[in-house]
Amino acid sequence: MDLKTQIRSVPDFPKPGILFYDITTLIGSPSGFAATIDALAAPYVGQGIDAVVGIESRGFILGAPVAERLGAGFIPMRKPGKLPSKAVRAEFALEYGTDALEVHEDAIRPGQRVLIVDDVLATGGTAQAAVSLVKQIGGTLHGLAFLIELPFLNGKAKLPGEQIFSVLQY
């Protein structure tokens, strides 16, 4: 299935100069959603993934079904102030602005093999923060999986030594 034809490109959102890849058109389709989760999970079947970390909020939509498919747990990595128990925080620069992420400090048991999932790898700032949080709380990072990678922004440079998989590149 051609996933790209089901993703809508929205120019100048959320600000001028950004071409926003809108996955709502893809995941709103039963066959598109199933094919998306198949493609994201496939490289990790049988790889001993214990937990999938999803980055708020589109990483939740994709990461949770990937976790279920892999027989892994799901760990939400959230915007500041949303998690109820004690959390660790990392701040980072976005393609459009700055933000921070938090995760519960006890979300991962020492040595658990973790896969990070998000919709888009752009400048890599978000993913870099997610990697640092997983390592801070004692996870063993297996890799990072994205539906979309924007190679012209070179996000991989912020993730040296990490195993990175993307289904689609623009």
Catalytic residues: 58, 95
In the chain, the N- to C-terminal Cα span, in Å, equals 17
- Binding mask of the shown chain, residues 34 to 63, with x at each position contacting ligand AMP by CB under 6 A: ---------------------x--x-----
Query: Which among 169, 163, 159, 167 is positioned nearest to 114, based on CA atoms?
Result: 163
Sign (positive or negative) of CA dihedral 41, 47, 49, 55: negative
Binding segment (CB under 6 A) for ligand AMP, from list 19-27, 37-45, 72-80, 103-111: 19-27
Give the shortest CB-30-to-ligand AMP separation in angstroms. 22
Give the shortest CB-110-to-ligand AMP separation in angstroms. 27
Closer by beta carbon to ligand AMP, 91 or else 138: 91
Residues 6 or more apart whose Cβ sits within 8 Å of residue 58: 23, 118, 119, 120
Give the shortest CB-48-to-ligand AMP separation in angstroms. 26
Q: Are 146 and 119 in contact (CB under 8 A)?
A: yes
- Binding mask of the shown chain, residues 76 to 115, with x at each position contacting ligand AMP by CB under 6 A: ------------------xx--------------------
Decide: is 74 part of the binding site for ligand AMP (CB under 6 A): no
Give the shortest CB-158-to-ligand AMP separation in angstroms. 8
Cα 116 to chain centroid distance, Å, stands at 5
Residues 6 or more apart whose Cβ sits within 8 Å of residue 12: 18
Q: Are 60 and 78 in contact (CB under 8 A)?
A: no
Applying CB under 6 A, the residues found at the interface with ligand AMP are 18-21, 55, 58, 94-95, 118-127, 155
